[in-house]
Amino acid sequence: MSTAPRSSSASPPRKKAPAATKPRGRNRGLTPAEIAEIFRRFQAADPEPKGELEHSNPYTLLVAVVLSAQATDAGVNKATRALFQKADTPEKMIALGEDTVRDHIRTIGLFRAKAKNVILLSEKLIREFGSEVPEDRDALETLPGVGRKTANVVMNVAFGAPTMAVDTHVLRVSNRIGLSDGKTPLKVEEDLLAKIPQEYGVFAHHWLILHGRYVCKARKPECPRCLIRDLCRYPDKTPG
């Protein structure tokens, strides 16, 4: 039986799909051993890092953190030194009044709304918490002007809880060095809490904030003097 000849209109052979490109270095997560080494180095360089907001008790810390939204710590400290000399308790703050609080913090962004929140949260502390700052995140987040990040800072700094306050510095540094690929503060917080060894939990967010503020800067990171340069996954390191 004869075989029919192939049609001249047969389809040309299909082209091979291009091979998938390898992800850039920043997409490769760090190993548990590398993460532990990063925080071992941070601890060796600065065993007990502290936040830069000036305060004298949990209440003044709470107020300072509320005021620090969209403002620098240095700017907040400049405004609160005189304020906290006059009012370091909810009762004293209410006695000052919203107008006087507003005058003290006028140099801080959103000062009108923040002055109102300081008075409202002070009233709520007196009314519902016996003038004491609560240690519980859910309770803290019921206070005017207090969100998750503020609550995490207060729990960590005032009460020693191993929370992870994710600001722009922590989010940027975590993405760059390979600790997280999260694009939201909550996702980065979840990644960090899951990956960072517990023994570094209390100070971890301080190390990351300070690293982002003074070394791993947004526009031009100072990679040549970075103590974790060899472990960092960031592909665009500045030469040095």
Q: Which residues participate in catalysis according to the annotation? A: 149, 167
Coil vs helix vs strand at 49? coil
CA 181, 136, 78 angle in degrees (round to 5)? 75
Q: How far is CA 59 from CA 135, 140, 150, 165, in A?
A: 11, 12, 12, 18
Q: How far is CA 176 from CA 29, 69, 194, 204, 231, in A?
A: 10, 23, 18, 16, 11
CA atoms of 81 and 83, how far apart (whole Å): 6
CB 204 within 8 A of CB 7: no
